[in-house]
Amino acid sequence: MRQYVIFKGSRNGLQLVLDDSADFAVILENLKAKLESAVVFFTNGTIVEVPAKVRVLTTQQQEDLAKLLAIYGLIFRETAQQQEVTTTTNVETEELQTLFVDKTIRSGQEVVYNGSVVINGDVNPGAEVIAGGDIIIKGTCRGVVHAGAYGNIEATITANRLLASQIRIANLIARAPDNLDQPEYTEMARIQDGNVIIETVDI
């Protein structure tokens, strides 16, 4: 399915990438649906930047976008230059808080948070978890997980069964595991020597 709006991590909060070829009414409709699917997971007051180099908005479009984001507690800000996701460790992870989610994340749902995320449940196929810090899943992960979204290469992803369709840490992506029928044991994904590795851990 075509994605007209995509949330990415930025230094200041979140970056909203809009399809440059789509009608703005379609953009708003798709953005509203995405926000509705993750309404409880966005941090109130988070800044959302729209890179001007990706899509230039008229004054009216900026106002419409700001009003929609404000409904969900998000603050709109258009940037003159596209923000790049840094791959350095200059991220003050010690100041980031942890979001605890006591439910299974189902297909179509997203968890987006500046700090670390702990899921007391499963992450189903078609679901996505994006965190500025670590991701801990106390269940089976079969969705998309992206830790260190703001460039923290020391972030980790831990799950009781780590069978994610995509594993991403900072700007590095690991392919899905070949064998989905592995025995149950806890695994952790982390970056080592410029690659994402997955290892068994005791917790």
How confident is the model over 11-21, as pLDDT tens digits? Answer: 667 778 887 77
Q: Which of 104, 110, 147, 149 is nearest to 122 (CA)?
A: 104
pLDDT tens digits for range 126-142 = 999 999 899 999 999 99
Rounded Cα gap, residues 164 and 195, in angstroms: 17
| Burial class of residue 100 (count of CB atoms within 10 Å of its CB; 0-12, 13-18, 19+) | exposed
What the chain holds in terms of domains, given with CATH numbers, is: 5-79 (3.30.750.50), 93-200 (2.160.20.70)
> What pLDDT was estimated at residue 112?
86
> What pLDDT was estimated at residue 155?
94
Single-letter residue type at 128? E
| 129 touches 144 (CB < 8 A) | yes
Single-letter residue type at 84? E
Q: Which of 125, 130, 187 is nearest to 162 (CA)?
A: 187
Spell out the per-residue pLDDT of the chain, length 203, in tens.
567 888 776 666 777 888 777 888 998 998 888 888 765 566 667 788 877 655 667 778 888 888 888 888 888 876 643 333 333 333 343 445 788 888 999 998 888 888 899 999 999 999 999 998 999 999 999 999 999 988 889 999 999 999 998 999 998 988 655 555 555 678 999 999 889 998 888 75
Rounded Cα gap, residues 31 and 29, in angstroms: 5
**pTM of this structure:** 0.55
> What pLDDT was estimated at residue 82?
33
Enter the tokens of residue 117.
Answer: 């995320």
